[in-house]
């Protein structure tokens, strides 16, 4: 393992508050997420972990009547600065959703969707990106002969890996994952977890999970969310073996949640 | 800075243009509505005020060549035709909706549903023509045969408010059926199960639970039907005879030929001189007001249901 | 346990049978009325339909000859209306559904659309007459196919808007989010994901709107002018089949010839209804597995 301290901070969140209308969903969240790190967000449902994840690529902008306070810096730039273009931002911050959401078009078109949207037209280059991304998502061997098949014909696990490939194709710096395995069977889950381990070579990964074993297996650092607050952030081993806060301990020992 | 907005980014410029163009498109409907209201009121209102609103609405004589413009007979014609149409169409429409949702075997429902969609798409002139060739004949035979001694000669032509009402009933049936069926379908299954579990028969459940629960939707359907009926033009012109007169009070009245507000406009607009035209637009105002009131009631009722 | 009087049970049963019989009779009556209208007009109409009827000009006010100008008039009008109304209607639906934030103004726009949908066609006709035929006559040619088409556009706009909105709403949010999260603009997402997926619903609504234009008479009575001649341009007057049917029936009293037009009209409407249903199925199949 690389020494944690030597890495640069990729995402710096400071005093972040978030509101859905009158509801105060996130309370002064402060976190540092480092480059090439898998950072897990755990906590009971409704604790704000998914909301927090979606503040990192400003997906919450799509929900009416929401408000953000505080700052989120990615690569040293405040992403809530009025001068920021969310489209540019989201090109650098990929997102994988809870339920696989491939587009009902061919496998090839799914993976090449992002690069095409960003102006790449050359067939050969696109093919190169599609192959590379599908390889990164450990899906290439399964689909290489049927790239023109509709993506909906894939199994759930394959669909989710396709979504990961789709994100890899835009060559982001950060990949956000919102409970990516919650809709998958155990076999597919194992594959996706192995994949996440691979992905951190190239990307910073922030993953929301309600499965604590999963967080323990794949993440370097973990933050425990409760009622819109971050209760504790630590090295994953540390947090699971020796939590500092009583609430964290109660949660990881299954007393609630 | 890599997330910064780029002024000359092609896709951002496209996005900006598209958004503006779509916004302008989105204003078309409301602009049209505004223009319609403006032009109709602008053309008809000054005349109505000049002529005297009460004289115009309650005047019983319509004689454009002598500058006499009273539309009361047309109001009466429209109202009677509409009420009769609802009297015929509403019970049948609601019955079909109940049958379709609660009773019909799937095979039968698969025939009825597209039939009703098709019925909605049948042009009004076709229904009017059918009325002219078939219904007028039936009513004429009735009026000249068994009823001839009760009816004045002018009421025996077949052209009648009754013919108009039947035609309108046919035309509003699809509306009443589909909207009532929607609201009957929306009644939660638990209601029905609770009633059935208490030992009610299926009919008792429908009668005492399902229909009352769907009441506001069914009412909205009927009122929407009223709106359609009062605004309908072509089919009704073809069968009501278009005589400007107030029918006799009593059952004989339904055999009287009448003229409706809509018919008045459609029949005379083509050749009307300036003042006459203004009088026709004033007729349109009265119709427009009827429609606005009726539609607002429907919209409020449907909101309530949601 | 308490006893239910056997009489009462029988009465309940009898009421149910009676009620159900009445309800099924109502349904049967409705369907029979439809068939009666369709078949009566078709059977009678077929007796006057021939190649000459379809491809000849009308003579003696339409009591003799054919209906070709009316068929062409219908086609011109439908094409023109759809060319104008489709982008505006679908564009409005896209704006309302994909761009406009929830709020008062959106409610007002939706309410206006609902009100417009309830306006009777004769009122559209009056408006078209005063606005397009009279006020704008220097641009529209007065009574003309263009005046009729613009009136028709306003008339079917709410139909297209409502149906398109429904189709757009049926596109799953996760797909839109998936696309936006890849760093695409709204418009790119709409072009590549939302519109293709909403296409079946939108197409159906467009085809049904065509049906509405074909069947409409009152609005065109006051705007088309009813000319029996072949229209040379959109600035010329004309008549549609439905209008022709009305004018022949009411002004000449030749109901047989009117039924000929009626039969052609019904066939068009039937084709459109089946096309709408068929195309919907076809498109749905193309875009999902």
DSSP for A114-154, please give it. HHHHTT---HHHHHHHHHHHHHHTT-HHHHTT-TTSBGGGS
Q: Are B171 and B124 in contact (CB under 8 A)?
A: yes
Q: Minimal Cα–Cα distance from C209 to chain A, Å?
A: 28
Q: Tell me the mean pLDDT in the region C30-54.
A: 91
Q: Are C203 and C117 in contact (CB under 8 A)?
A: no
Q: Does residue A3 sit within a domain? A: no
Say if the Cβ atoms of C27 and B14 lie within 8 Å.
Answer: no
In a domain, A245, yes or no: yes
Rounded to the nearest integer, the mean pLDDT of chain A is 90
Burial zone of C78 (CB within 10 Å; 0-12 exposed, 13-18 middle, 19+ buried): buried
Q: Looking at CA atoms only, how far is residue C56 from chain B in angstroms?
A: 22
The residues, any chain, with a CB within 8 Å of residue C53's CB and separated by 6 or more, are C65, C66, C67, C260
- The verdict on a CB contact (< 8 Å) between C262 and B121 is no
Q: Is 90 exceeded by the pLDDT of residue A252?
A: no
Taking an 8 Å cut-off on Cβ atoms, the answer to whether C183 and A97 are in contact is no
Chain A residues inside the 8 Å CB shell of C192: 113, 117
pLDDT value, residue B70: 94
Residue A229, in any domain of the structure: yes
Is 50 exceeded by the pLDDT of residue C184?
yes
Q: Is residue A158 part of a domain?
A: yes
**What pLDDT does residue A16 have?**
93
Closest residue in chain C to residue A66, using alpha carbons only: C101
How near does any CA of chain B get to the CA of C107, in Å? 11
ipTM of the complex: 0.91
- Show residues of chain C in contact with A65, CB under 8 Å: 102
Give the side-chain half-sphere CA count within 13 A for A230: 22
Within an 8 Å CB–CB cutoff, is residue B191 touching chain C?
Answer: no
Q: What residues 60-79 of chain C have any CB closer than 8 A to a CB of chain B?
A: none
Global confidence as pTM: 0.89
> A125, A116, A147: which is closest to A134 by C-alpha?
A147
Q: Which H, E and C letters describe chain C, residue by residue?
A: CCCCCHHHHHHHHHHHHHHHHHHHHHHHHHHHHHHHHHHHHHHHHHCCCCHHHHHCCEEHHHCEECCHHHHHHHHHHHHHHHHHHHHHHHHHHHHHHHHCCCCHHHHHHHHHHHHHHHCCHHHHHHHHHHHHHHHCHHHHCCCCHHHHHHHHHHHHHHHHHHHHHHHHHCCCHHHHHHHHCCCCCHHHHHHHHHHHHHHHHHHHHHHHHHHHHHHCCHHHHCCCECCCCCCCCCCCCECCHHHHHHHHHHHHCCHHHHHHHHHHHHHHHHHHHHHHHHHHHHHHHHHCC
Side-by-side strand order, sheet with A23-34: A23-34, A9-20, A66-74, A77-78
User: Of the ranges B292-301, C156-165, C198-207, which is most confident?
Assistant: C156-165
> A90: which chain C residues are within 8 Å (Cβ-Cβ)?
180-184
The per-residue pLDDT for A3 is: 53
Given an 8 Å threshold on Cβ–Cβ distance, is C177 in contact with A59? yes
Chain A nearest C-alpha distance from B9 (Å): 10
Res C61: pLDDT: 78
- pLDDT per residue over C198-236, tens digit each? 998 899 889 889 999 999 999 999 999 888 888 888 898
Q: Look at strands A66-74 and A204-208 and give their pairing.
A: unpaired
User: Looking up tokens 């999902």, which residue turns up?
Assistant: C288
Is there a domain that residue A1 lies in?
A: no
The 3-state DSSP class for residue A42 equals strand
Give the range of the structural domain holding residue A240, as residue numbers without chain letter. 9-252
Looking at the domain assignment, is residue A142 inside a domain? yes
Tell me the per-residue pLDDT of B143-176, one tens digit each, with 9 for 90 and over. Answer: 998 888 888 888 999 999 999 999 999 999 999 9
Q: Give domain status of residue A120, yes or no.
A: yes
> Subunits with at least 3 CB pairs below 8 A relative to chain C?
A, B
Q: What is the pLDDT of residues B213-229, one digit of tens each?
A: 998 889 989 999 999 99
| pLDDT score for A135 | 92
Residue A1: which pLDDT band, with cuts at 50, 70 and 90? Answer: very low
- Give the rounded percent of residues in chain C with a pLDDT score beyond 70: 97
Mapped onto helix, strand or coil, the DSSP state of residue A15 is strand
- Check residue C3 and give its pLDDT: 63
Handedness of CA B100, B105, B106, B111 (dihedral sign): negative
* pLDDT value at C2 more than 80: no
Nearest to A107 by CA among A142, A81, A74: A142
Contact A84 B4 (CB under 8 A): yes
pLDDT tens digit sequence for A86-118: 998 999 999 999 999 999 999 999 999 999 999
Regarding predicted confidence, which is higher, C225 or C165? C165
B9/A77 Cβ within 8 A: no
The interface residues of chain A toward chain C in range 95-154, judged by CB-CB distance below 8 A, are 95, 97, 99, 101-104, 113-114, 117-118, 150, 152-153
Mean pLDDT of chain C: 90
Distance between C186 CA and the closest CA of chain A, angstroms: 9
The answer to whether residues A168 and A196 touch, using CB atoms and an 8 Å cutoff, is no
B7 confidence band (pLDDT: 50, 70, 90): low
Query: Nearest C-alpha of chain A: how many angstroms from B5?
Result: 5
In C, which residues are within 8 Å of A103 by CB distance?
Answer: 175, 178-179, 193
Region of residue B12 (left: phi > 0; alpha: psi -120 to 50; beta: else)? alpha
- Determine which of A58, A73, A84, A88 to mutate to test the interface with B (most B C-beta atoms within 10 Å): A88
Are the Cβ atoms of B132 and C249 closer than 8 angstroms? yes
The minimal CB distance from C177 to the residues A91, A97, A153 is found for: A97
**Residue among A75, A85, A92 minimizing CB distance to B4:** A85
Q: Which two three-digit tokens encode residue C231?
A: 């229209």
pLDDT on residue A55: 93
Angle, in degrees to the nearest 10, between helices B72-98 and B215-231: 140
Judged by average pLDDT, the poorest of A128-142, A165-179, B183-197 is B183-197
CATH number at residue A226: 3.40.50.300
Predicted pLDDT of residue C289: 41
Distances A238 to A229, A245, B222, B291, C68 between C-alpha atoms, Å: 20, 12, 69, 72, 86
Separation between Cα atoms, residue A43 and residue A49, nearest integer Å: 7
Q: A152–C174: do the CB atoms touch at under 8 Å?
A: no
Whether A2 is covered by a domain: the verdict is: no
Nearest C-alpha of chain A: how many angstroms from B28?
A: 25
State the total domains in chain A: 1
What is the spatial order of strands in the sheet that A93-96 belongs to?
Answer: A93-96, A174-178, A204-208, A38-42, A221-226, A229-235
As a whole number of angstroms, the distance between CA A158 and CA A162 comes to 6
């Amino acid at each position: 393992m690389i020494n944690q301290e030597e890495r640069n901070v990729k995402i710096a969140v400071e005093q972040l508050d978030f509101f859905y209308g009158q509801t105060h969903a996130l309370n002064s969240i402060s976190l540092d997420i480092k480059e090439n790190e898998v950072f897990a967000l755990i906590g009971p449902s409704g604790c704000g972990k998914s909301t927090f994840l979606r503040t990192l690529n400003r997906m919450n902008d799509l929900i009416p009547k929401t408000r953000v306070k505080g700052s989120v810096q990615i690569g040293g730039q405040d992403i809530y600065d009025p001068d920021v273009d969310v489209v540019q931002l989201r090109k650098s911050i990929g997102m994988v959703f809870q339920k696989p959401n491939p587009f009902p078009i061919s496998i090839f078109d799914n993976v090449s969707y992002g690069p095409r949207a960003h102006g790449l037209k050359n067939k050969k280059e696109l093919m190169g990106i599609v192959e590379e991304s599908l390889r990164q998502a450990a899906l290439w061997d399964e689909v290489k002969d049927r790239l023109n098949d509709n993506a909906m014909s894939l199994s759930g696990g394959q669909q989710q890996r396709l979504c990961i490939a789709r994100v890899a194709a835009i060559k982001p710096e950060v990949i956000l994952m919102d409970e990516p395995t919650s809709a998958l069977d155990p076999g597919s889950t194992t594959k996706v977890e192995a994949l996440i381990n691979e992905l951190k070579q190239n990307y910073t990964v922030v993953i929301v999970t309600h499965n604590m074993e999963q967080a323990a297996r794949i993440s370097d650092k973990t933050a425990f969310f409760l009622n819109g607050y971050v209760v504790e952030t630590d090295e994953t081993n540390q947090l699971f073996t020796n939590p500092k806060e009583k609430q964290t301990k109660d949660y990881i020992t299954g007393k609630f949640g | 800075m890599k997330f910064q907005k780029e002024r000359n980014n092609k896709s951002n410029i496209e996005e900006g243009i598209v958004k503006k163009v779509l916004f302008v498109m989105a204003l078309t409907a409301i602009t049209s509505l505004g223009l319609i209201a403006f032009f109709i009121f602008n053309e008809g209102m000054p005349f109505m005020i000049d002529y005297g609103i009460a004289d115009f609405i309650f005047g019983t004589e319509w004689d454009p060549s002598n500058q006499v413009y009273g539309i009361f007979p047309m109001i009466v014609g429209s109202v009677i035709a509409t009420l009769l149409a609802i009297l015929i169409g509403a019970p049948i429409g609601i019955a079909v909706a109940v049958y379709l949702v609660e009773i019909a075997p799937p095979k039968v429902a698969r025939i009825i549903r597209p039939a009703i969609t098709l019925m909605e798409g049948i042009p009004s002139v076709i229904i009017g023509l059918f009325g002219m060739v078939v219904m007028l004949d039936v009513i004429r035979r009735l009026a000249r045969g068994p009823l001839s001694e009760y009816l004045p000669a002018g009421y025996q032509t077949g052209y009648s408010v009754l013919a108009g009402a039947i035609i309108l009933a046919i035309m509003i049936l699809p509306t009443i059926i589909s909207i009532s069926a929607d609201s009957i379908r929306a009644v939660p299954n638990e209601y029905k199960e609770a009633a059935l579990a208490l030992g009610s028969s299926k009919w008792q459940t429908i009668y005492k639970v399902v229909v009352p629960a769907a009441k506001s939707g069914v009412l909205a359907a009927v009122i929407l039907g009223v709106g359609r009926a009062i605004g309908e033009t072509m089919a009704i012109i073809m069968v009501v005879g278009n005589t400007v007169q107030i029918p006799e009070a009593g059952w004989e009245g339904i055999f009287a030929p009448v003229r409706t507000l809509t018919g008045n406009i459609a029949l005379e607009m083509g050749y009307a001189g300036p003042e006459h035209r203004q009088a026709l637009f004033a007729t349109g105002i009265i119709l427009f007001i009827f429609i606005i009131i009726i539609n607002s009631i429907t919209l409020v009722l449907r909101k309530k249901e949601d | 346990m308490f006893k239910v009087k056997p009489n009462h049970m029988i009465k309940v049963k009898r009421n149910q049978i009676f009620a159900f019989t009445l309800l099924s009779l109502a349904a049967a009556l409705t369907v029979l009325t439809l068939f009666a209208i369709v078949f009566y007009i078709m059977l009678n109409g077929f007796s006057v339909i021939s190649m000459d009827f379809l491809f000849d000009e009308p003579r003696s006010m339409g009591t003799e000859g054919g209906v070709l100008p009316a068929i062409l008039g219908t086609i011109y009008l439908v094409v023109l209306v759809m060319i104008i109304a489709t982008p505006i209607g679908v564009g409005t639906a896209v704006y309302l559904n994909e761009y406009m934030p929830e709020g008062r103004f959106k409610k007002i726009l939706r309410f206006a659309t609902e009100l417009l949908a309830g306006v009777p066609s004769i009122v559209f006709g009056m408006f078209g007459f005063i606005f397009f035929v009279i006020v704008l006559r220097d641009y529209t040619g007065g009574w003309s196919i263009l005046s009729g088409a613009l009136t028709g556009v306003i008339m079917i706009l709410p139909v297209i808007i409502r149906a398109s909105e429904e189709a757009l709403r049926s596109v799953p949010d996760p797909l839109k989010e998936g696309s936006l999260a890849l760093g695409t603009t709204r418009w790119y997402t709409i072009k590549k994901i939302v519109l293709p997926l909403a296409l079946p619903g939108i197409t159906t609504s467009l085809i049904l709107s065509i049906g509405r234009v074909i069947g409409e008479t009152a609005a065109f009575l006051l705007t088309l002018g009813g000319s029996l001649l072949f229209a040379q341009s959109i600035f010329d007057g004309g008549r549609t089949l439905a209008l022709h049917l009305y004018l022949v029936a009411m002004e000449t009293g030749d109901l047989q010839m009117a039924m000929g037009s009626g039969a052609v009209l019904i066939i068009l409407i039937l084709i459109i209804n089946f096309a709408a249903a068929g195309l919907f199925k076809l498109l749905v199949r193309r875009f999902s597995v």
